[in-house]
A and B are shown apart, each in its own frame.
Chain A
Amino acid sequence: MSTLLEVSGVSVTFDGFRAINNLSIQIGEPELRAVIGPNGAGKTTFMDIITGKTKPDEGRVLWGEKNLSLLGMSESQIARQGIGRKFQKPTVFEDQTVRENLAMALRNPRGPFEVLFYRKTAEGAAKIAEIAAEIGLTDALPRRAGDLSHGQKQWLEIGMLLAQDPRLLLVDEPAAGMTPAEREHTTDLLKRAAQTRAVVVVEHDMEFVRRLGCKVTVLHEGSVLAEGSLDHVTANKDVIDVYLGR
């Protein structure tokens, strides 16, 4: 397992509030990692920094074999490097069909003129069919994404991530609002994705994290409080004090 993403010494301040404080995390490839922490621990800001939405005040974010810095890149450049993100609230394009949503995410050239003269290909269609099968939306392909259930939207968004074929998936609370059966399906999806790539899951739900059965990083007040297996971190006294004890 080689290091894919290295975040070191990163700090961010919003109006005097230190959202991230000297945070350092390394993610390998392939790897499945859960990031947990109480509200305001900086989980979402951590994702914002990696994806270029927020620029840190100090620190480094290095990517891949060539140790490229992600800090100078725009959101779309970072996405093209192979970092995909799923938001907490499912954000799919509700006015468009499931197929259109997936087609937009497919890994193809992203320039305006390439998109303008884009022709559908057999490989593209096959890839969409494959992903739709994986997320259980084969029958829903011609349906409007807005008509899907909440859980189906979550899957569609995960499917869009898979269609991007990223090396790193950042997933924010994937199980929120799902039924137990849907959660199980989501766990399987993420585990399978993590066999070939890096997957970072931000989650509140301990039961869900336990089912993922992976290394856990606990964030608190913008820095890493503990890291290790779930049993290891839940036994940690600091973790019990700030998070689990409350």
Chain B
Amino acid sequence: MVRRRSFIAQNPSVLWFLLVLALFTLVVTLMSESVGSGLISTSFVKTLGKTLCLCLVAIAMDVVWGYCGILSLGHFAFFGLGGYAIGMWLMYARTEIIVTASLTNAAIPPTPQEVSDAIATQIFGVVGASEFPMIWAFADSLALQLIMVVLIPGLLALIFGGLAFRSRVTGVYLSILTQAMTLALSLYLFQNDSGLRGNNGLSGLQNIPGFRGTPQAEISLWFFWASALALALGYVLFAWIVSGKMGSVIRAIRDDEARVRFLGYHVESYKLFVFTLTAIIAAIAGALYYPQAGIINPAEVAPIASIYLAVWVAIGGRGRLYGAVIGAVFVSLLSSWFTGGGAPNIDLGVYTIQWTDWWLVLLGLSFVAVTLFFPKGIGGLFDYLVRKQP
């Protein structure tokens, strides 16, 4: 007889993860300025909310790399595209409110064209333009722009992945190709006539249109909850995918894709499925991240960001979802501590180690050390704690 145990029962780590996440969310809520004791400042609530989004993109990276063996160094580009897509609506809608308010006192009521022109001048004045580019066609509608969050990165991943996997580009060549894609995207975004305000990027994203009277302390908490929910849903989705037969096939592709072909599986379709799905999840994470960050600019999409993502997953322990979460939390919080001046400088007499400069060196060294000595990463420590039952 086949024993059908529930998916959660087969994967106790999912339940543990959800419990820890729920507890964490509760504690942060109770300590927030808005509804709690105020022990955690609003800006730190935002940092924590952003970290949850980074955890979501990290588990996506873990699925594509740790489980399916595709070392994509471009998943942060999808994250950024998601941010840009939501940023367009946020900027448009907020500017529209300001422009409409300022024009209400005009002697002659403004025509829709005048309103639109005024919004465009407000948004694009900084790059010397005063008209909406084509790509802003849907920016006035939240629903359409939310679809864009999923559609644009999804299509890019589908086309790029389709071409790359069809040509059987694998291994380091594929990684280089994904880096090239990321670089091309960020260079394009840096241009003033890209239609996305060049290196100024999109800003003021923390001001949610229609919630002008709502204090940031409250808004930050809403985004924190949304990020926690997205992470929980993403975690369950990925855990479900990698636990079943699908997980078996994609791990097999990671270990020996030629053999999987001779079993009759169309390897390219599987890779494309995983690549595109994880790109979409990365984009959703980005769409939640940037309203908390307040600004997105092309530097966010720079190739180095995608490499960091791989470093988080490697340090946390790839091939296990909670490993990716641990890596993202640990490294990103540590990074903001070091670069934010939290770590005391070390005076060596002849030279002072300033962590803002030396943090990257430290990160690089730990990456090399983890790769060489602890290939299972921090998550591997759990193997010592939890002995697997046969």
* A53, B266: Cα distance in complex, Å: 14
Cβ-based interface call for B251 (8 A): yes
Cβ-based interface call for A2 (8 A): no
> Which chain A residue has the least Cβ–Cβ distance from B1?
A122
Cβ-based interface call for B366 (8 A): no
* Inter-subunit contact A93/B251 (CB<8 Å): yes
Interface string of B231-244 (1 = CB under 8 A from A): 00000000001001
Size category of the B interface is 20 to 34
From DSSP, what is the main secondary structure of chain B's interface residues?
helix
Shortest C-beta distance, A63 to chain B (Å), equals 14
* A91, B259: Cα distance in complex, Å: 7
* Inter-subunit contact A142/B2 (CB<8 Å): no
For chains A and B in complex, what number of residue pairs have CB atoms within 8 angstroms? 80
Cβ-based interface call for A115 (8 A): yes
* Inter-subunit contact A111/B245 (CB<8 Å): no
Cβ-based interface call for A167 (8 A): no
B270 contacts across to A, CB distance below 8 A: 112, 115
* Inter-subunit contact B252/A104 (CB<8 Å): yes
A119 contacts across to B, CB distance below 8 A: 4
Contact residues, A83-139 vs B (CB, 8 A): 84-85, 87, 91, 93-96, 100, 103-105, 110-112, 115-116, 118-122, 124-125
* Inter-subunit contact B265/A76 (CB<8 Å): yes
* A183, B44: Cα distance in complex, Å: 67
Please provide the 7 A-B residue pairs with the shortest distance between their CB atoms, ordered closest to farther: A79-B264, A75-B261, A80-B264, A118-B245, A112-B273, A76-B266, A116-B246
Show the binding face of A for B, using Cβ within 8 Å. Answer: 51, 53, 74-77, 79-80, 84-85, 87, 91, 93-96, 100, 103-105, 110-112, 115-116, 118-122, 124-125, 142, 160, 164
Other than the given A76-B261, A100-B248, A120-B4, 17 more pairs (CB < 8 A) read A75-B261, A76-B262, A79-B261, A80-B264, A93-B252, A94-B255, A104-B248, A104-B263, A110-B265, A111-B269, A112-B266, A115-B245, A115-B246, A116-B246, A118-B244, A164-B263, A164-B264
